[in-house]
A and B are shown apart, each in its own frame.
Chain A
Amino acid sequence: MSPEKFVQVEKVGMSFDTKKGKFVALTDIHLNIRQGEFVSLIGHSGCGKSTLLNLIAGLTLPTSGVMLCAGREIPGPGPERAVVFQNHSLLPWLSCFENVHLGVERVFSKTESKQQLKERTTRVLEMVGLGHAMHKYPGEISGGMKQRVGIARALAMEPKVLLMDEPFGALDALTRARLQDELMKICDATQATVVMVTHDVDEAVLLSDRIVMMTNGPAATIGEILSIDLPRPRNRIALAHDPRYMDCRSAVIEFLYAKQSHPIAA
Chain B
Amino acid sequence: MTAITVDALEKVGAGGTAAPVTPIRKVGLSVPPPPAPSQLAGPSSMEQDAAVMRAFLAAVLPPLIGMALLIGIWHLATVNGGSIPTPGKTWDAAAILFADPFYSNGPNDQGIGWNILASLERVGIGFGIAALVGIPVGFILGRFATMASMINPIISLLRPVSPLAWLPIGLLVFQRADPAAIWTIFICSIWPMIMNTAQGVMRVPQDYLNVARVLNLSEWKILTKILLPSVLPYMLTGIRLSIGTAWLVIVAAEMLTGGVGIGFWVWDEWNNLKVEHIIIAIFVIGIVGLILEQALVFLAKRLHTES
Contact = CB atoms under 8 A, between A and B. Distances in A.
Contacts of B207: 85, 87, 89
Interface in A68-90: 76-79, 81-83, 85, 87, 89-90
Interface string A77-120: 11101110101011111100000001100100000000000000
A92 B214 contact: no
A102 B217 contact: yes
B105 interface: no
Given A91-B225, A102-B221, A85 B213 contact: no
A124 interface: no
A83 B210 contact: yes
A48 interface: no
Interface of A is mostly: loop
Interface string A159-181: 00000000000000000000000
B210 A59 contact: yes
Contacts of A94: 225
Contacts of A78: 214, 216
B107 interface: no
Given A79-B216, A92-B307, A102-B217, A85 B226 contact: no
B225 A102 contact: yes
The 9 closest A-B pairs by CB, nearest first: A93-B307, A92-B28, A89-B207, A77-B213, A93-B229, A139-B30, A92-B27, A103-B215, A77-B214
Contacts of A43: none
Contacts of B157: none
A138 interface: yes
Interface residues of B, number: 22
A180 to B, nearest CB: 23
B214, B216, B229: most-surrounded residue (chain A CB, <10 A): B214
A195 interface: no
B214 A102 contact: no
The range of chain A's interface size is 20 to 34
Nearest to A81: B214
Given A89-B208, A92-B307, A102-B225, A138 B215 contact: no
Interface of A: 57, 59, 76-79, 81-83, 85, 87, 89-94, 102-103, 106, 137-140, 157
A194 to B, nearest CB: 15
A168 to B, nearest CB: 17
Contact of A76 (B28, B213, B215, B221): B213
B214 A106 contact: no
Given A139-B29, A139-B30, A92 B24 contact: yes
A87 B218 CA distance: 23
A138 B217 contact: no
A77 B205 CA distance: 17
A57 B29 contact: no
B211 interface: yes
A106 B208 CA distance: 16
B208 A139 contact: no
B241 to A, nearest CB: 23
